[in-house]
Structures are given as C-alpha cells and as structure tokens.
Amino acid sequence: MADEALFQFLHHEVIQYVNAAENGETENGRCITKLESMGFRVGQGLIERFTKDTPRFKDELDVMKFICKDFWTSVFKKQIDNLRTNHQYLAFTCGLVRGGLSNLGVKSVVTAEVSAMPACKFQVMIQKM
C-alpha cells in the first residue's frame, strides 16, 4: 500500500473534485452517492489484494472480524475507532467497507452516524440472499 499521507491526500482531492463537479446539481445527495460508489469499487479491489493468500472464511462473523481488524488497519493505519468525521469521508468509507464485504460474498448496507465528535459509529446490516 502506498504511503499513508499519499492515500489521505488522494482521498481529500477526490472529495474536493466531486464537490466541485456536483456544484449546481442536487449537490449533496449526488456527491455522497458518487463517493460511496467510488469507495465500493476501491473496497472490492483492496479485498482482492488483501485476501489472495488467506484461507476461505468460515462464516460472516469471520468476515466481519477480518474487515474490522486487518482490512481497516491496512487501509487507515489506525484502530477502527479513530476516523475523520467529515460526512463525505464517511460516504467513501461506507462504500469501502460495503465493497470489501461484497467481494467476500456478503451483501450489506453500511451506514455511519456521528453522535459525538470525533467519534462515529458504523452500522453494517447484512442482507440475506
């Protein structure tokens, strides 16, 4: 994975670019949707890379443990309880988690809620097929 500062800079620039491109349209909703979609695709790609030498997961609980411990730490270089609380950052991050889960065969809806700064709470609802 590239240097942490490069990832953060790219993340910030993507948000700025999408904000500028969406100015004048139904701005915030479309911006968040685009960021979530971008995060979804990035999450799919990263999961492919991170799990290529990993044995198959037994169940959804093992998948969630992997996402919360290994995946999150690999991407953000931090524990899962430390995250920027900008809602646009959260849209990308929700997509990132949803994309990772999707590539592991878990269909889900991922939402984030900011109750007290600087903490946020992610909720992953697994959808049975």
CATH architecture of 28-126: 2-Layer Sandwich (3.30)
Decide if 8 contacts 78 (C-beta within 8 A): no
Whole-model pTM over 0.95: no
Calculate the alpha carbon distances from 95 to 39, 41, 52, 91 in Å: 4, 8, 21, 6
89-114: pLDDT as tens digits: 678 888 888 999 998 888 999 988 87
15-63: pLDDT as tens digits: 777 666 656 555 667 777 888 888 888 888 989 999 988 888 888 888 8
